[in-house]
Amino acid sequence: MIDFLEEAYKRKDDILKDIETLCRIPSVLDESTAGEHQPFGKACREALDAMLEIGKRDGYQCKDVDGYAGHIDIGNHEDMIGVLGHLDVVPCNKNGWLTDPYQMVIKDNKLYGRGVADDKGPLIAGYYAAKIIDELNLPVKMKMRIIFGCNEESGSACMKYYFNHMPFPSFGFTPDAEFPVVYGEKAGVHFEIYGDVEKDNIIGIYAGTRANIVPEVCEAYVVGNYKQYKESYQQFLNDNHLEGTIEEEGNHTKFVLVGKSAHASLPEEGINAVTYMCHYLVSLSQNRLVHFINDCFYDDHYGQKLNIAYNGMMGPLTVNLGILQYKDGKVSATIDMRVPHEVTEENLVKNIEEKLEKYGLSQKHDMGKALYIDPESELVQSLHNAYVELTGDHTHQPQAIGGGTYAKSMPHCVAFGAGFPGVDYKIHQNNEEISIDDLLKATGIFAKAIYDLIKK
C-alpha cells in the first residue's frame, strides 16, 4: 500500500515554496495592461509564466495557450486525466488584511495570503499529486495534464479559449470547491428587468452593485416630510429587527435600510435590504415596481411567488434580487438565479414573463449551463472513496452547489476539494488562509484519487 499522505508530507517544503512564488504575483484581472498574449493583463501573464516555469524546472512538457491558460503534461500516454485550477485571484482590500496579501506568511501552521486557498494552493496540491505518481513510477495508463487558467474569477473566458484550441481530457476534476466531491452545479442565470412605471411619490430606490451578492443596504427617496413617516418606519424596523435611518433631504425623505449580505447561491443566509424596503414602501405608495418587488420577492428565496420554484436532486432553485436602480419612473434591476439542471430555460422564462407582464415590465437574460454528473458514476465514486479512505469521514456525502467552477468547461469533470467541510478559508475575503495540514492532506487525497482512476 502506498502512503500518499506521507508522500505529500515529504514534499512539504517544495509545495510551500511554489505556492509562495505564485502568491507573490497579484494576478487580478487588469484590462489596462491587457494585450496580445496577455488577455487578462500583465500580472495574470506573470502568474501563468511562473506556473509554466515550475513545470519546466521539473522536466515536464509545458504549453502556453496564448496567455489565456496553459498546461503541464506528466507522463506519455495519449489518453489523459485533467486537473484544472486557476491562477487569477480576486482583488484585496489591503486595509482589511493583517499581513501583506501578496506575501505568503506562515503562522501557527497556517498559510496566509491571497490565493493560498483559492486557487493557487489547491492547484499546486494537484500538481504535486501528479508529481508523486510520476516520481513513484506507478504503473498508469494515462498521462496527467495539469491545466491552469487566468480568468476564473471573471467569467472563465480562459477555459473557453483553451478548450477551443486543445482537446478534452477523458475526465478530470478541479480542486476549486470542497470535499468530499461536487457532482452538481446549478446553472447561473441573470435576468435584467427593465421598463417604465408611472412617476409617483417614490423618487428613487437604489441597492446593490453585484448581482451575485444579497444587497446589504437599500436607499429610497420619497416625496414628503420625514416626520409623517418617522413613526411607521421606526416601527417597521423594530418589528423586523432591522437597522436603518430616516432623514430629511431637501423637500423629500431619505430612507436607509440595512440588511445582511450573503452569496447569491445561499440567499437564505442574507437579509435582502431591497425586498424589506419595498415591503415597507407598499404602505406609502401605489408604485408598480414597489408592488412587483413586494409581491414577487419579499420573504421568498426560492421563487415560489414568481411561480418558478423547483427542488430536486441538486436542491432548490434560488433567487436573489441583487441590484436595483430606480429613478423617475425608470426601472433597472438584476436578478441572480441558480437553477437545477431539470428546469428548462423555456419554462423558466415563460413563467417569469407572465409575472412581469402583469406589472408592465420586461426582461433580458443570459443563462449558463448546469452541471450534473451521476453521483453513482465511476468518477464521483472514485474521488469520494479516495477522500473517505484518507480522512475516515463517512459523514459528508457528494453534494450539489449553486456556484460554478471550471468543471462546467469540459465533459466528465467535477469539483473536488481542496476545502474540507465546515472549515472557513476566508475565500474572497480579507486574510485568506489554509492550514498546512489541510493542504498536504488534499495533496495526498488528490494523488490517491488520480492513481485510482488511471492505474493499469
Q: Which residues bind Zn ion (CB under 5 A)?
A: 118-119, 176
How near is the Cβ of 368 to Zn ion at its closest, in Å? 16
> CB neighbours (10 Å) of residue 23?
27
CA neighbor of 331 nearest in space, from 290, 376, 383, 271: 290
Best CA proximity match to 27, nearest among 99, 88, 94: 88
Cell of 154: 471573471
Q: Which residue, 20 or 118, has its beta carbon nearer to Zn ion? A: 118
- 155's CB contacts (< 8 A; 6+ apart) are none
- Answer yes or no: are the C-beta atoms of 66 and 37 closer than 8 Å: yes
* Active-site residue (options: 7, 18, 20, 88): 88
Tell the burial category of 443 from Cβ atoms under 10 Å away from its Cβ (0-12, 13-18, 19+). Answer: buried
CB of 430 to Zn ion, least distance (A): 17
State in angstroms the smallest separation of the CB of 402 from Zn ion. Answer: 14
Query: Side-chain half-sphere of 269: how many Cα atoms within 13 Å?
Result: 7
Which regions of 20-163 does DSSP assign to beta strands (E)?
Answer: 61-65, 69-74, 80-86, 105-107, 110-112, 143-149
The residues facing 334 across adjacent strands are 192, 323
What is the smallest separation between the CB atom of 85 and Zn ion, expressed in angstroms?
Answer: 8
Q: Closest distance between Zn ion and the C-beta of residue 86, in Å?
A: 6
Distances (CA, A) of 282 to 188, 201, 278, 380: 30, 11, 6, 49
Comparison of 123 and 335: residue with beta carbon closer to Zn ion: 123
Q: Which residue's CB is nearer to Zn ion, number 176 or number 432?
A: 176
List strand residue ranges (DSSP E) for 313-386, in order: 315-316, 318-327, 330-339, 362-367, 371-372
Alpha helices in 147-247 (DSSP H): 157-165, 227-239
Q: Which is nearer to Zn ion, 207 or 401 (CB)?
A: 401
- Looking at the Cβ atoms of 30 and 58, the one nearer to Zn ion is 30
- The reply to whether 152 belongs to the active site is yes
| Nearer residue to Zn ion within complex by CB, 20 or 176 | 176
Query: Cβ 158 to Zn ion, closest distance in Å?
Result: 12
Q: How far apart are CA 226 and CA 231, in angstroms?
A: 9
| Nearer to Zn ion (CB atom), residue 104 or residue 284 | 104
**H/E segment holding residue 177:** strand 177-178
Catalytic residue selected from 18, 73, 152, 153: 152
DSSP 167: P
Active site residue 88: yes
Question: Quick count: other Cβ atoms within 10 Å of Cβ 38?
Answer: 20
Residue 419 Cβ vs Zn ion, minimum distance, rounded to whole Å: 10
DSSP per-residue codes, 401-450: ESS--GGGGSSSEEE--EEPTT----TTSTT-EEEHHHHHHHHHHHHHHH
Q: Which residues are catalytic?
A: 88, 152
